[in-house]
Amino acid sequence: MANAPLMPKATAVWLVENTSLTFDQIADYCKLHPLEVKAVADGEAAQGIKGLDPVANGQLSREELDLAVADPSRRLKLLESKVRVPEVKTRRGPRYTPVSKRQDRPNAILWLVRNHSELKDAQIMRLVGTTKSTIESVRERTHWNSVNLQPMDPVTLGLCSQIDLDLEVQRAAKEKPLPTVGGTTLLPAELTTRVPEPEPEPVAPTTANVDLSKVFAKFQDRSEPDDDEA
């Protein structure tokens, strides 16, 4: 039995607009928070969403709905779907690749190596259905056809789904160690933002400010003999 109806917000919109169920009843049936249902009723949420009738699509019986309307404490029961969805079995080992697409695997490996270097060889093997030796030859450019290889998205080639690729990338990101902080310490902000003061320009010596008469007067005083010596 499903835990929530299909398109729960659209179902909540229909129940708010077409029934007198309480917010708690609708929230419990649609697996939403009562405040979300209140926001739907106030027009603050689910704007533009068309209501979905749970009775018409076989997810709620009319009798069950009438009983819940009459008794506010009653909880709606979701009808069991008559369509049995087979369980998705987890796949182990390398992915099977059709013969027609096996020639594209080296191109997909090259794309993964360049765009998602964090992926491990085992993850690439699961996505593309290749071997470790092939991955190493593509990465080291020793593949027999390395000259003609072109990086191509494995999702576009049909070798894997976008969901599988995103899942492997997320796993690799979680396992990747955080970078260690090292090196020199940062300088204080007052040093990095300080504007250097301009250096004073050297003043060339000029003769305009020199009094030549005083200079020659000193020489004349030295050249004249003293009266005592005479």
Would you say residue 126 lies in a domain?
A: yes
Amino acid at 13: V
Would you say residue 216 lies in a domain?
A: no
Among candidate residues 37, 34, 44, the one with its CA nearest the CA of residue 13: 37
Give residue 158's pLDDT band: very low, low, confident or very high (50, 70, 90).
confident
Task: Specify whether 103 is located in the same domain as 156.
Answer: yes
pLDDT at 117: 87
CB 108 within 8 A of CB 153: yes
Cα–Cα distance for residue pair 136/152, rounded to 1 Å: 17
Would you say residue 221 lies in a domain?
A: no
Above 80 in pLDDT, residue 164? Answer: yes
| Number of separate domains in the chain | 2
pLDDT at 1: 40
Give residue 230's pLDDT band: very low, low, confident or very high (50, 70, 90).
very low
What rounded mean pLDDT belongs to the chain? 78
Task: Specify whether 18 is located in the same domain as 55.
Answer: yes
pLDDT, tens digit, for every residue of 94-149?
555 555 567 889 999 999 999 988 899 999 999 998 899 999 999 999 988 888 99
Q: What percentage of the chain carries pLDDT values higher than 90?
A: 27
Highest mean pLDDT among 47-51, 81-85, 161-165: 161-165
Task: Specify whether 106 is located in the same domain as 49.
Answer: no
222-to-40, 216, 218, 226 alpha-carbon distances in Å: 109, 10, 6, 9
Give 218 or 54, the one with higher predicted confidence. 54
Neighbour-count burial for 56-73, b at 16+ CB within 10 Å, e otherwise: eeebbeeebbeebeeeee
**For the chain, what is the radius of gyration of the CA atoms?**
42
Would you say residue 12 lies in a domain?
A: yes
Task: Specify whether 103 is located in the same domain as 141.
Answer: yes
Which residues constitute the domain of residue 127?
A: 99-175
Single residue among 126, 151, 175 that ends a domain in this structure: 175
Single residue among 136, 155, 175 that ends a domain in this structure: 175
Would you say residue 49 lies in a domain?
A: yes
Task: Specify whether 107 is located in the same domain as 164.
Answer: yes
Task: Specify whether 63 is located in the same domain as 120.
Answer: no
Would you say residue 89 lies in a domain?
A: no
pTM value? Answer: 0.39
Would you say residue 66 lies in a domain?
A: yes
pLDDT at 160: 87
Task: Specify whether 55 is located in the same domain as 111.
Answer: no
Single residue among 175, 197, 222 that ends a domain in this structure: 175
Would you say residue 165 lies in a domain?
A: yes
pLDDT at 7: 85
Task: Specify whether 103 is located in the same domain as 159.
Answer: yes
Task: Specify whether 65 is located in the same domain as 110.
Answer: no
